[in-house]
Amino acid sequence: MLMRLTAVNLDCADPLALADFYHRATGLPLHERSDGEFAGLGGGEHGLLMGFQRVDDHRPPTWPGRDVPQQLHLDFTVDDLDEAVARLVEWGATVPEPQPRPDLWRVVLDPAGHPFCLSPRKPAPAGGDTDANGTRSDR
């Protein structure tokens, strides 16, 4: 293996506020050295680090428009789409319209305007174990 992905970082105006939103949504712990310039969740024994870095003139992507194009989006699995969307909205997310395939997944904007997708967790296939993301691992 040449490289291993260790972090995904999002630009934003308020790193601690955005880290709090994603902490509530994922349960990942806040990194101990987080501050107003950079905040992180997870990393180390928790796997991939989600980082949030302050950018003074941050302009959020305009989704579904293209005035300020998205350069990355995250995908998450959830047990119940409607319940997850409702809780995320309570915590500051918004739901843009139109939704491309609301029967299969939902696009949500975090409080800083970054789009991310939610899809239902897939049921475990017969004859194999799955991880927390519904990915099958045969033994």
Task: State residue 139's pLDDT score.
Answer: 28
State the average pLDDT for the chain.
88
Mean pLDDT over residues 75-89, rounded?
95
Mean pLDDT over residues 97-109, rounded?
93
Mean pLDDT over residues 32-48, rounded?
92
Residue 6 has pLDDT above 60, yes or no: yes
The greatest distance separating any two alpha carbons of the chain, rounded to the nearest whole angstrom, comes to 52
- Quick: pLDDT tens for 110-130: 999 999 999 998 876 676 554
Full-model pTM: 0.78
Cα dihedral 86/131/113/6 (nearest 10): 160
Residue 63 has pLDDT above 70, yes or no: yes
Give the residue from 102, 93, 124, 113 showing the smallest Cα distance to 21: 93
Task: State residue 122's pLDDT score.
Answer: 81
Rg for the chain, CA atoms, rounded: 16
> Which domains are seen in the chain, by residue range?
1-55 (3.10.180.10), 72-124 (3.10.180.10)
Give the residue from 34, 32, 41 showing the smallest Cα distance to 110: 41
Residue 8, SS3 per DSSP: strand
Task: State residue 128's pLDDT score.
Answer: 54
Peptide bond into 102 cis (omega under 30): no
Give the residue from 79, 61, 80 showing the smallest Cα distance to 71: 61
